[in-house]
Amino acid sequence: MDNLHYLFAAFAAVWIVLFAYLAHLNRRTGELGRQLAELELKLKNKEGDLPDE
Amino acid sequence: MRSVPFSCLVFAVMLVALGAIFLWVPTEKEMGIVQRIFYFHVPAAFSSFLAFFLVFVGSIQYLRTREDKWDRLALCSAELGVIFALIVLITGPLWAKPIWGVYWRWEPRLTSMLITFTIYVAYLMVRGYGANSAPVQRISAVLGILAFANVPLVYYAVDLWAADQQLHPPRNVELEPTMQYTKWICCAAFFLLLFRLIAQRMELARIEKAVALLRQKLIDET
């Protein structure tokens, strides 16, 4: 059991790296959501500018 | 790929792998409990090799067809390959310290793995600077093909260099059956996780591209 801390550190490292990557993906997804909302707003504004037929 | 059932499968196999590592497989006599690092160090290495192979395939197919989906496969696989290679490069030294007495030695497999990792980080940096422009996609595809030459070098490093320079064991070490099964269960868990993450990342890349095109279209129209 002497080297249990090395096993713990390696195991923790795997999870930390994977969770950091998932957090990065999550942040990018959030950014994409904001961009989509912005584009929707621009589209709405553009449709509002069009003359009634 | 149906994402929820596949994610459940990944989760289930990962639980089985955890059970096998910590509850089923016997402790190795010489190295003791720290040898269990093997069950995520080696599968992470195989997963990074598989991801780099997908970069190679995606790059060739992109150069042949110029279809964006192949470029996306190469880019997303490179990202995941780097993540799994990073896991290898962190868990390796943590296993090496109690066994070899040092965290790092410039021995063939460690050095070739570090070089491979650096090359794929460079690939991602090239992509980062050039976004999705066609010239950058082409240059990246060439880099993705050439970079793959390093992967067999890493795998066969223990055979290619003299035995007195090696710290890693030979490739054909006989494992006790329980250890062998655990290794393959862990490989299955890591491969499934890799495929799940690549699918997720590719979907994100596809939406990013669609949003960028829509934005460009709106700019052009105004």
pLDDT tens-digit readout, B173-199: 788 999 999 999 999 999 999 999 999
From residue B61, alpha-carbon distances to B26, B28, B72 in Å are 44, 44, 11
The pair phi, psi for residue B167, each rounded to 5°, is -115, -30
Q: Give the torsion through C-alpha atoms of B130, B131, B136, B141, to 10 deg.
A: 130
Considering only residues B182 and B215, tell me which one the structure prediction assigns the higher pLDDT: B182
Residue B162 host element (H or E): none
Model confidence over A1-53: pLDDT tens digits? 578 999 999 999 999 999 999 999 999 989 998 988 888 888 888 777 665 54
Chain A interface test: which of B94, B198, B203, B220 (most A C-beta within 10 Å): B94
Could you give the CA distance from residue B87 to residue B90 in angstroms, rounded to a whole number? 5
Could you give the CA distance from residue B24 to residue B155 in angstroms, rounded to a whole number? 28
Is B201 an 8 Å CB contact of chain A?
A: yes
- Structural contact between residues B108 and B164, judged by C-beta atoms closer than 8 angstroms: no
Length, in residues, of chain A: 53
Smallest CA-to-CA distance from B83 within B128, B129, B120, B127 is with B120
Question: Which residues have C-beta within 8 Å of that of residue A38, sequence separation ≥ 6?
Answer: none
Q: Residues B144-164, buried b or exposed e (16+ Cβ, 10 A)?
A: bbebbebbebbbebbeeeeee
Q: Note the pLDDT of residue B30.
A: 87
Question: Which residues have C-beta within 8 Å of that of residue B36, sequence separation ≥ 6?
Answer: A7, B21, B22, B25, B27
Is B161 an 8 Å CB contact of chain A?
A: no
Q: Do A13 and B94 touch (CB under 8 A)?
A: yes
B93 to chain A: closest CA residue: A10
How distant is the alpha carbon of residue B36 from its chain centre?
Answer: 20
Average pLDDT of chain B? 91
Q: Do B218 and A39 touch (CB under 8 A)?
A: yes
What is the ipTM metric for this complex? 0.87
The one-character DSSP state at B161 is S
Could you give the CA distance from residue B109 to residue B52 in angstroms, rounded to a whole number? 17
Counted across chains A and B, CB pairs separated by less than 8 A come out at: 69
Could you give the CA distance from residue B101 to residue B196 in angstroms, rounded to a whole number? 37
Distance from CA of A28 to the nearest CA of B (A): 8
Could you give the CA distance from residue B41 to residue B95 in angstroms, rounded to a whole number? 9
Q: Do A10 and B95 touch (CB under 8 A)?
A: yes
Chain A interface test: which of B80, B89, B90, B95 (most A C-beta within 10 Å): B90
Decide: residue B220, CB within 10 A, 0-12 exposed, 13-18 middle, 19+ buried.
exposed
Q: Do A46 and B221 touch (CB under 8 A)?
A: yes
Question: Does position B119 have pLDDT exceeding 80, yes or no?
Answer: yes
**Residue numbers of B between 19 and 78 with CB closer than 8 Å to A:** 32-34, 36-37, 40-41, 44
pLDDT band at B210 (very low <50, low <70, confident <90, very high): confident
Among the partner residues A9, A17, A21, nearest to B94 by beta-carbon distance? A9
Is A1 an 8 Å CB contact of chain B?
A: yes
Question: Does position B163 have pLDDT exceeding 90, yes or no?
Answer: no
Q: Do A7 and B36 touch (CB under 8 A)?
A: yes
pLDDT band at B201 (very low <50, low <70, confident <90, very high): very high
A46 to chain B: closest CA residue: B222
pLDDT band at B113 (very low <50, low <70, confident <90, very high): very high
Q: Note the pLDDT of residue B96.
A: 93
The one-character DSSP state at B168 is S
Q: Note the pLDDT of residue B217.
A: 82
Model confidence over B51-109: pLDDT tens digits? 999 999 999 999 999 999 999 999 999 999 999 999 999 999 999 999 989 999 898 99
The one-character DSSP state at B164 is G
